[in-house]
A = this chain, B = another copy of it.
Amino acid sequence: MQAYDYIRDGAAIYERSFATIRAEADLSGFSAEQAQIVVRIIHACGMVDVAQSVMMTEDFVSSARKSLKKSCAVLCDSEMVAHGITRARLPANNAVVCTLRDARTPDLARQIGNTRSAAALDLWGEKLAGAVVAIGNAPTALFHLLELLDAGAPKPAAVIGLPVGFVGAAESKEALAKRHDIPWLVVQGRLGGSAMAAAAVNALASEVE
C-alpha cells in the first residue's frame, strides 16, 4: 500500500505549499496582511502569477477581520463558496449564508428579470450590514450587489469580488474596483471562482497560515 511516495501529513502539505508559494510569487506589492490573503488565493488555484491580478483596497483586510470578529455573517453567491469555507477558522461562529436555493429565489428572479444568482441577493436584506460578501461564481450577482448598494442597501464590511468567466466577470469586477464606498478585493479579468473566493474568506477568518 506504500508504492507511491508522497507526503501524507496534512500539516506538512500545507507548510510546504505555502513555502513554495512564498518562494515563487511576487508579493512585493502587498502588505504582510494582504499577502496572507493572496497566498491563500494562489493556494486555491495553483497559479502564482495570479498575484499580478489581485487588487484590494487598503482597508479591505482590516475591515473584514474586524467585522468577522464581531460575528458578522458571510454572504455567498453559490453553494460551492459556502461549502469551501472552513467553519473552524471563523472567529465568532459566524453564519455562512447562501440564498441561491431559497424557495423564493426563482420567483424573485422572474420578477426582477435577472438570474437566480442575482435575485438571491434580494433575500440578504439587513444581513448585508457589516457582512463579508463572497461572490465566487456569478457576474450578475456582483452587478446586482452594486445595484442594491446604489439603491441604499446596508453597506457590507468587505466585498470579495471573484466571479469567473467569459461574460461579465471582468466587467463586474472593474465596476466594483471603481467604488470608494466599500472595501473590496478583486482578481482582474476572467479569473476567479468559488475556490478562490472561499480561500479569501478562510484567509480573512484567521491569521494562522
The answer for the CA separation of A16 and B166 in the assembled complex, in Å, is 8
> Which chain B positions have C-beta within 8 A of A20?
166-167
A154 at the interface (CB under 8 A from B): no
Chain A interface size, as a band, is 35 or more
A130 at the interface (CB under 8 A from B): no
Binds B, one of A29-37, A56-64, A67-75, A168-176: A168-176
The answer for the CA separation of A43 and B114 in the assembled complex, in Å, is 20
> Which chain B positions have C-beta within 8 A of A201?
none
A residues at B contact (CB < 8 Å): 1-4, 6-10, 13, 16-17, 20-21, 43-47, 79-80, 82-84, 113-116, 118, 139-140, 143, 146-147, 150-151, 164-169, 171-172, 175, 189-195, 198
> Which chain B positions have C-beta within 8 A of A113?
8
24 contacts between A and B (CB under 8 A): A1-B150, A2-B147, A7-B167, A7-B168, A8-B114, A8-B140, A10-B116, A13-B139, A13-B167, A16-B167, A17-B166, A21-B166, A43-B165, A46-B166, A46-B190, A46-B191, A46-B192, A46-B193, A47-B190, A47-B191, A79-B84, A80-B80, A193-B195, A194-B195
Asked if A43 and B6 sit within 8 Å, CB to CB, the answer is no
Give A112 Cβ to nearest chain B Cβ, in Å: 8
Asked if B13 and A168 sit within 8 Å, CB to CB, the answer is yes
Asked if A45 and B4 sit within 8 Å, CB to CB, the answer is no
Asked if A164 and B45 sit within 8 Å, CB to CB, the answer is yes
Closest 7 CB pairs of A and B: A46-B190, A79-B83, A8-B114, A20-B166, A17-B166, A83-B83, A46-B164
Asked if A115 and B13 sit within 8 Å, CB to CB, the answer is yes
> Which chain B positions have C-beta within 8 A of A80?
80, 83-84, 194-195, 198
